Chain A
Amino acid sequence: MPSRVSEPRRAALPDSPALADGAAEWWSAYVHVPFCARRCPYCDFAVVTPEEGAGPATRYVDAVVAEMAQTPTRSDRPGLRRPLDAVYVGGGTPSRLPATELHRLVDALRGSFGVADSAEITLEANPEDWTPSMAEALVGAGFTRVSFGAQSFEPTVLSYLGRAHTPEEAAAAVAVARHAGFESISLDLIYGSPPDTDWRDTVRRAIELQPDHVSTYALTVEGGTELFRSIAAGALAPDPDRQADAYELAGDELGAAGYVRYEVSNYAKPDHAVRYTMAVWAQAQYLAFGLGAHDHLLAGPPGAEPVGVRRRNVRRLEAYLEAVEAGRSPEAGRERIAGWQRELERLFLGIRRAAGVAAGVGGTALLASPQGRRLVEAGVLVAADDRLRVLRPLLTDAVSRAILDLPPSAASSRPELSVSPGDC
């Protein structure tokens, strides 16, 4: 085990291939906190609002802690009995939980798996929940990173998105977090919502707050959401060309301010790329706890080619609580990804990164395929130094589809993909 793995190197450029590839060896955990004050019109995550019957937070945290305790390290692969390099508490809105409950979650991870002293521990937070005392308590609990759902600095857009905070509250939250001692502060921004009239202003105001990391997400209309229904009923839909403009504008502004784009929609100052998500794109192993959470662990006998097992938890709160409280696994289903499928997965995940992905057998097959050649001719895909990179990140999914379309290469082992039915 190289030392940089257990002690991830700081001062790395967010888009460096060494950082991107090294993330494959990181070991992290995701904890899902489903509670939200209300459901945002565009959200289709596993979320529970008070109207939907969220019970006391304590019962949920108890269950998650129990789930952690029930979980063995579960991997036969070497090297994972070491402490976690990264923890990500996402939601939902984790900041809806009292700091003491969040503290309990981190402590439970420490108790069950160990958390490295240098680990990155992220909390997703909404600005309106954020207070100096909470911020200090969270730093005390070990959190090093906070990601605020700022989304926009235009009040009309915030209200369109169903967000409860004001632009001023977002700015104040950053200052409070900084003062409390968070090492890394991130802002999420959403572009391309129909009333989005001054996106440049939003980006600039975000930059003025000097976050270490910025994520820019295009407003996406997911089936089953309130947004989907209102658009189906005739409301204005996001325009993909305007979204492309907004994407490019954000890239220019953030680039000029010293942020490096290291994934399709993530920008960071040096040293501030998010470890947990870097690990996900690097096909690394991660644990996951809580409602609707997804993990990824390797299986297979030592020495054999590993098989990726991706499991998902149930998405209904009552089902989750009952399972864990009864000492049962809350698993809803899993898929096993091996051989050629695993190689293609490595590519379609890795290709999202600015650093690209090592070509390997799959990448070589892609470059030789008609679809791959078309992507190269169109200037979307480039191959250099045995790596594949996407030159036009907004067309990444076109590359991903071409990857998933590749027939098994003769050079690879037999493909295997089995999916077990889930209950959600």
Chain B
Amino acid sequence: MNDQTRIRNFSIIAHIDHGKSTLADRILEKTGAISEREMRDQVLDSMDLERERGITIKAQAVRIRHQHGGGHTYTLNLIDTPGHVDFSYEVSRSLASCEGALLVVDASQGVEAQTLANAYLAIEHGLEIIPVVNKIDLPAADPDRVSEELSTILGGSLEDVIRVSAKTGEGVVELLDAVVDRLPPPGGDPEAPLRALVFDSYYDSYRGVISYVRVVDGRLRQGEQVRFMATRLDDGADEVGVLTPAVVPVAQLGTGEVGYLITGVKEIDLIRVGDTVTLAGSSGGVEALAGYAEPKPMVFSGLFPTDGDDFERLREALDKLRLNDASLVYEAETSRALGFGFRCGFLGLLHMEIVRERLEREYDLDLVATSPSVEYRATTTSGEVLSVRSPQDLPHAAKVEKLEEPYVKVMIITPSEYIGTVMELVQAKRGEMGDMTYLTPERVELHYRVPLAEIVFDFFDQLKSRTRGYASLDYEPADYKASDLVRVDILLNGQPVDAFSAIVHKDRAHHFGRTMVKRLRDLIPRQLFDVPVQAAIGSRVIARETIKAKRKDVLAKCYGGDITRKRKLLERQKEGKRRMKMVGQVEVPQEAFVAALRIDDA
């Protein structure tokens, strides 16, 4: 068993591309956890998708051994955290299992909003922070400036900042020594009854649910009967172990240790992240650890199979995906235009995109996703409060007394030369100005309240393009506020197409309507008759375009009696038609749904 004072649990907080995964790789290599030969880049990012996107989705814990300069060997548990704004929920779960965090900042980029948000999150969790400037090997590196930013934010001295190059390995050993020296060992009472925090779990098709736990008090022994307190599930601890990163079963996990637990449970719903594991029978006198808030979906979108026959396959795929992604919520939904599908809730746009990509890639589904929407709150004239996650749920305007939309608190860090630009953008997006803090004379931290719908729409892209990529953004839910919102319907040949409806602010309705009808006019192939495309608020048409009737659909030649060729040509054209969905009398290609609903260039 490990001496509790020789354990350090920490995670790495970094912005995307600031080198967190590379640093983790290097730490594994320097501590001999993995040989250079075994070294794949970004070992901790196990999913292909993560590797491709260069981001981390699932937190994982790896145990490593580090021989400190002072001579003793310490057990370090590196808890990996996701780096994207959508996943701050997962970040918070990981942080709760640590005593400290490395705040990694790119020496050429400086502090980003997200890094800062996660650093604040870590401080809230009472974590000790070690500021790290990474990529000091880059020609554009400015470690002095970035160190200054970090000490301004964290209030420490410049000497506290550790400079490393995860790429070359420079400074990594010093960093590990600092982890031992500056982070506290885990507290907790080894003699008290077992309390272990489930900070992550995933479903493995062979082993069932695998939980990542941090033992807070007592010890977790293989073979004992354990109880998951929230779900009151009693089960045997079939296997207890650690990841080095290879899976190594152990007899027990002591106080302060981090590892995995397998009980044979197959239903992920029975094991809630944030739950407390204790010994069966002793739970009466044990107080559960502070759990976590349920993840709250912020963005909703309909997912429909291109081929209606795939509905059941989509349901199965979502069920399976949920085993590894507790934040994914969904319920069946029917669209007149798209048939049967699911209304899904996501943590954010990136989460939505990742889920959709995984469904298409791992489950071989062809999907149409409808415009993302936020959760509105409608108060009807009869005083009823409804939650509106889809434009179709919005009652008729005459029945709505009040319509409210969610706002978020936004933090933006930008070079000071772009303050004016950022303010303009925020104003255009109906944001309200809050505080402003200069991190350095060149960099400023701005706070706003902005409707979530605007963030979901294209705020991030706009921010990036207007600040030439230099500004960064983080946000968290704030509250609901009454807004002047309308539902814009899109009519094809006089018929509303539910998949294209959207709830938008009154001031943006015309722009939205015009953009959508223009786009559809260009995306929908010409039909045998003129097809009007209209945008309407209630019965009032606010934009109109016409898809002119197709005039020519014939190939003149008969190829000198080559009827076979003519037939093949027609058969090929027919295949193209198969991918069309009939909306009333209008043939709409799947691609038109996908393209019209793209939000990035609206």
Mark A residues whose CB is within 8 Å of B: 30, 32, 45, 90, 216-218, 220, 240-241, 243-244, 247, 264-265, 277, 280-281, 286, 288, 293-296, 310, 312, 335, 345, 348-349, 352, 374-375, 378, 380, 393-398, 400-401, 404-405
Contact = CB atoms under 8 A, between A and B. Distances in A.
Interface string B393-430: 00000000000000000000000000000000000000
B540 interface: no
Nearest to B529: A378
B556 A264 contact: yes
Given A241-B551, A296-B561, A395-B551, 8 more contacts: A30-B561, A244-B552, A281-B558, A294-B560, A345-B563, A378-B528, A394-B551, A395-B550
A218 B562 contact: no
5 shortest A-B CB distances, which residue pairs? A244-B551, A378-B528, A265-B556, A396-B554, A294-B562
Given A374-B585, A380-B528, A395-B528, A280 B556 contact: no
A389 B556 CA distance: 17
A405 B560 contact: no
A398 B528 contact: yes
Contact of A294 (B554, B564, B573): B564
A397 B555 contact: yes
Contact of A277 (B553, B558, B562): B558
A192 B418 CA distance: 53
B53 interface: no
B567 interface: yes
Contacts of B567: 345, 348, 404
Contact of A218 (B556, B560, B571, B573): B556
B551 to A, nearest CB: 4
A352 to B, nearest CB: 8
Contacts of A280: 558, 561, 563
A405 B574 contact: yes
B237 to A, nearest CB: 60
Nearest to B558: A280
Nearest to B528: A378
Contacts of A374: 528, 585
B29 to A, nearest CB: 49
A404 B561 contact: no
A348 B557 contact: no
B577 interface: yes
B482 interface: no
A348 B556 contact: no
A262 to B, nearest CB: 13
B528 A375 contact: yes
A30 B562 CA distance: 11
B556 A220 contact: yes
B570 interface: yes
B551 A90 contact: no
B564 A335 contact: yes
A404 B553 contact: no
Contacts of B558: 277, 280-281, 352
A33 B254 CA distance: 90
A108 B559 CA distance: 24
B564 A217 contact: no
B552 A247 contact: yes
A354 B573 CA distance: 23
A335 B563 CA distance: 10
Contacts of A395: 528, 550-554
Nearest to A239: B552
B486 to A, nearest CB: 34
A348 B570 contact: yes
Contacts of A397: 553-555, 570, 573
B561 A393 contact: no
Nearest to B560: A90
Contact of B553 (A288, A293, A295, A398): A398
21 contacts: A45-B560, A217-B556, A217-B557, A243-B552, A265-B556, A277-B558, A280-B563, A294-B559, A294-B561, A296-B563, A312-B564, A335-B564, A352-B558, A374-B528, A375-B528, A396-B553, A397-B573, A401-B573, A401-B577, A404-B571, A404-B574
B122 to A, nearest CB: 55
B552 A394 contact: yes
Q: Which residue of B555, B556, B563, B570 has the most chain A CB atoms within 10 A of its CB atom?
A: B556
Nearest to A92: B560
B555 to A, nearest CB: 6
Contacts of B556: 216-218, 220, 264-265
Interface string B559-602: 11111100100110110010000000100000000000000000
Contacts of A90: 560
Contacts of B551: 240-241, 244, 394-395
Given A401-B574, A404-B567, A264 B554 contact: yes
Nearest to B557: A217
Contact of A220 (B555, B560, B564): B555
A394 B563 contact: no
Contacts of A349: 563
Contacts of B561: 30, 280, 286, 288, 293-296
Contacts of A294: 559-564
Nearest to A245: B551
Contacts of B553: 394-398
Nearest to A244: B551
A343 to B, nearest CB: 13
A315 B561 CA distance: 15
Contacts of A396: 553-554
Nearest to B527: A378
A273 B509 CA distance: 59
A240 B555 CA distance: 11
A218 B556 CA distance: 7
Contacts of B585: 374
Contacts of A281: 558
A215 B563 CA distance: 19
Given A220-B556, A220-B557, A241-B552, A401 B570 contact: yes
A100 B487 CA distance: 79
A216 B557 CA distance: 10
B520 to A, nearest CB: 19
Contacts of A220: 555-557
A320 to B, nearest CB: 15
B569 to A, nearest CB: 8
A280 B560 CA distance: 9
A179 B2 CA distance: 112
A90 B317 CA distance: 58
A280 B585 CA distance: 34
A378 B560 CA distance: 31
A291 to B, nearest CB: 11
A248 B562 CA distance: 27
Nearest to B585: A374
B530 to A, nearest CB: 10
Contacts of B559: 45, 294
A391 B8 CA distance: 83
A375 B527 CA distance: 11
Interface in B522-545: 528-529
A280 B562 CA distance: 9
Contacts of A286: 561
A380 B528 CA distance: 8
